[in-house]
Amino acid sequence: MAQDPTVPKLNFEYWLDKAIEWGQATTLESQKDVCLHLSQLQEFLHQLYEAIKHLQGPTVVIQQFPLIGQLLGRLCWNPFVIGYDESQKTLMWCLCCLYSSEPQNAVELKANSWVRSLLCHLLSSSKWESNEAETSAFISALGYTSADYYCHLVKNMVVSLVRELRENQFNGLNIQESISASRVNAVSIFCVPLITLPDLAPLLETLLLYHGGSSKEILSSEFLESVNEAFLKKKISLPESVVFSLWLRHLPSLEKATLHLLDQVLSIQLNSLEEVACVIKDSLLPQAASHPAIFRIINEIFKSALMETDGTSEVLTVIQVFTQLFLQDHQNENKQHKFPLKAYFPYHHQPLVRRLVRRPFELPTTYWSEHVKHISDMVKALVEDTNASSLTDLFEIWFLVACFGEWLDIAAEQLLKAAVEPDPVLWLLAFYYCPKNENQQRTQTVVEAQAVYSHLMMLFNCADLSLKDLEAAVHRVMGTEQCCNQQFTTHLLTNFLLFSPGGHKIAQECIYHITEITDTSKEVHNLLIRTAHRFNHSGEENQRTVKLLNELLQKLTLKV
């Protein structure tokens, strides 16, 4: 039910009908329906309160909303509504608006009495509930209030439910189950409004870790969705094992969590890879991905996101950082039952996987170029194998390589910093930027790249460079139609500016020039962030390079 925010008219009749339909929410269908509408109802109540709070006196309120008494009265008897989030507060405020300090007529007198009865019903002992009177007299005689009583009552009920669920867990092998699946399902529905109530935390955790005998999911989907929502919005915090259990048993929650992460990272301007890593780590997704099923599903979602955004560099960065964090977590685990790599990358060439998974800092830097060459050779072999080059296979190989973008960045760096055989490296980078080759695009890219590279290497040791010297390269960036070439060339050019002695002086000017004219400022920014992150961790010796990098980042951050 969409509420149009620009139109102040409230859909009063709709909610009154709903309230009548729900009654006191005693049937399963009404309970499920209430759960589905809880947040919209809260929003409506808030709007209602805003509409009536400035009205002078209850008579005016009743003139505007003649049926308000019916609506509020019925909602007060629905424990799902009262138990939810902040609905009880808003409802009580609305009730107070119907109370007048100087009742002028019979209607207002009656309204006063009715408001007080309802508030007593909500807060202490209700004249409509016969069994509350005795308890409330006893509590008063002890010098306590209903606040103390209900605090204890809820805690006790939670404790006994938790105990019942846990005992049943250990009796899992008994044929005679002490709790039926429908009972657990019912408990999960009744908990939906109460998810953000701190007293319920032990029960939530026990439910999420509960596995009955059947293979079907016994917790209600409304419950699982609501817990996930509350967790993603940081309204509740749950232990890791509980979150993993939730995602393992409810696929939509995992999907939502992954999409939520992507939204988060893409919507805020993040200025360092550390920030990105922080956000991703907080989401608990890399940790959850130690379950191969979760890992594979997250990757599928990432693949779709890449397709939809046409491979934008921000999504790629998220994927790369996620993979790094996942690997860190996986390698640090001391569990005896660590899954082998094959479980996470089942359909890929395992030797390639093993190579990609090696973190750069695990190898001495002198060995890096050889490592990159091996990777390039393997990928080339896989890609050019005519038996296995359907478009999907190609995409899968490309995606695998893209996940481990660190090696690609190192490869590009090695081109300029070390004495390497350029062809395999150029081929690998060309494959990354231009994987398809139906019309020989990739082959063309390699050729172009070789030309740019030769040109840059010629200028590498020149002390005194001017923008004009780089013109040829810059023109390739701007003039080319193929965007993959543009990105590739920009990458080479940026690295050149960072790592060549003569490039420092013209770096700012050159990058400014490029990003002004083309649409590559985001990619350049991204590249610089990744490079900064690597410098922080591996330690770049050349202080001038580091300084230049930071300056460029600052300038670019302001612009982007």
Partner 1 sequence: MDAVLRQVEQLPALLAVSRSAQVRDWDCLTLDRALEWARYFQHLHHRFRARPQLREALGRRLRRSQPLPLLGFPALGRCPQLLGLALLENRALPPAACRCLLRGLLPPPGEGSGCDPRGLALLARRKAAARLLALVPGPEGQLQAEARLLLGRLREEGQEAAEAAGQLPWLRAALEQLPQPRACGVVAAALALLPQGCGTEQAGDTDRAAGSSQGGYQAGAAGDGCAAGLLLSWLLGDQERFSAFCLCLPSSQLAFLAGHYSQLSRSYLDLLTSWGSRLVYDPLQGRWVKSCLDKAELSWEELRERFICLCQGPALLREQTQAALELLRTRDGDFKVRGLSVWTDLLMEVGY
**Interface contacts to partner 1, rule CB under 8 A:** 53, 79-83, 86, 88-89, 92-93, 96, 99-103, 112, 116, 119-120, 122-125, 134-135, 137-154, 156-158, 160-161, 164, 183, 186-187, 190-191, 193-194, 197, 199-200
Under 8 Å between Cβ of 1 and 40: yes
Least Cα distance to 507 among 526, 494, 517 occurs for 494
How far from the centroid of its chain's Cα atoms is residue 386's Cα? Answer: 39
Distances 473 to 131, 362, 409, 448, 514 between C-alpha atoms, Å: 86, 35, 20, 10, 11
CB 493, CB 514: distance < 8 Å:
yes
- Both structure tokens of 117: 């009865």
Structure tokens at 499: 């790592």
Write out the E strands in 314-456.
Answer: none
Contacts of 530 (CB under 8 A, 6+ apart): 273, 317, 320, 405, 409
Q: CA 30, CA 222: separation in Å to the nearest integer? A: 13
What is the sign, positive or negative, of the torsion defined by CA atoms of 123, 129, 133, 139?
negative
Q: How far is the CB of 372 from partner 1 (least distance, A)?
A: 58
Of the candidates 346, 245, 262, 276, which has an alpha carbon nearest to the alpha carbon of residue 305? 262
Min CB(47)–partner 1 separation in Å: 14
Backbone φ/ψ region at 400: left (φ over 0), alpha (ψ -120 to 50), beta: alpha
Minimum distance, C-beta of residue 101 to partner 1, in the bound complex (Å): 4
Nearer to partner 1, 114 or 339 (CB): 114
Q: Which is nearer to partner 1, 133 or 418 (CB)?
A: 133
